[in-house]
Amino acid sequence: MNRLRAAALPLLALLLAAPALAGWSDIPSTDFALAAPPAPGSPEYARDFEELLKLQAARTPEQCSAAAAQAIPDFRSLFGASGILSKAEAEAVAPFVDRASKFLSKVSGYHKKKFSRPRPFNADPRVQPCVEKPSGSTSYPSTHAAAGVLDACVLGRLFPERAGILGSHGRDAGQLRLVSGVHHPSDVAAGQDLGARVCARLLKEDDFLAELASVKSSLP
């Protein structure tokens, strides 16, 4: 018996020294598959530019200003000045929702690197952005579109009576990326789909749900 106990001690020590189970923010980006963007020369690729040029011809200075104000795909940039939440409500939820946005950006960044799609203005000089041009071949998917949907989804759980207007505002973030000429329509569609799937996954994670409940209980 003593020999058995002695043999078990090293195993027990290893178990005690093992790191804690990974949390929701450590979910691998590879868990969220994404189809490739339209190939150059395909009908879908051509339709992307047709839609962009139509939006470019019809856009207003107000739309360009709104797009410029959402320069960063996080909660504060996309929702902080929306007027949907009070200042106190926004301050209460910002740390948690920004963490979800950061996780989403990591997932989106993985796919951006994988596909390395040029921005529309780099592929066709007829596309003229009305905001500062993002750098690099990182067009697909749109992180702004993904974050708009994800953040709206999380906020909808915190403020269910405003879920509809939050969702509409979140989708508008993707539309502004088209109007301003910095993303292809297929980038935005893929981003919005990714944001919805990331949110659905997070809402199945016990630690995420526990944090969500804690934030909700502390709302002003």
Structure confidence at residue 21 (pLDDT) = 52
20 pLDDT band, cuts 50/70/90, is very low
Classified as helix, coil or strand, 200 is: helix
Structure tokens at 213: 């409940």
Q: What is the largest CA-CA distance in the chain?
A: 83
Structure tokens at 81: 């000045």
Average pLDDT score, the chain: 91
pTM listed for this prediction: 0.88
Residues of the chain with pLDDT > 70, as a percent, come to 90
Residue 158 neighbours by CB under 8 Å, 6+ apart: 93, 212, 215, 216, 219
**CATH architecture entry for 41-217:** Up-down Bundle (1.20)
Residues of the chain with pLDDT > 90, as a percent, come to 87
Structure confidence at residue 81 (pLDDT) = 87
- What's the rounded Cα separation, in Å, for the pair 120 and 125? 8
22 pLDDT band, cuts 50/70/90, is low
pLDDT tens per residue across span 80-138: 889 999 999 999 999 999 999 999 999 999 999 999 999 999 999 999 999 999 988 99
Structure confidence at residue 58 (pLDDT) = 98
- What's the rounded Cα separation, in Å, for the pair 171 and 125? 27
Where are the chain's structural domains?
A: 41-217
Residues making up the chain, counted from first to last: 220
pLDDT tens per residue across span 139-173: 999 999 999 999 999 999 999 999 999 999 999 99
Return the DSSP state at 29: G
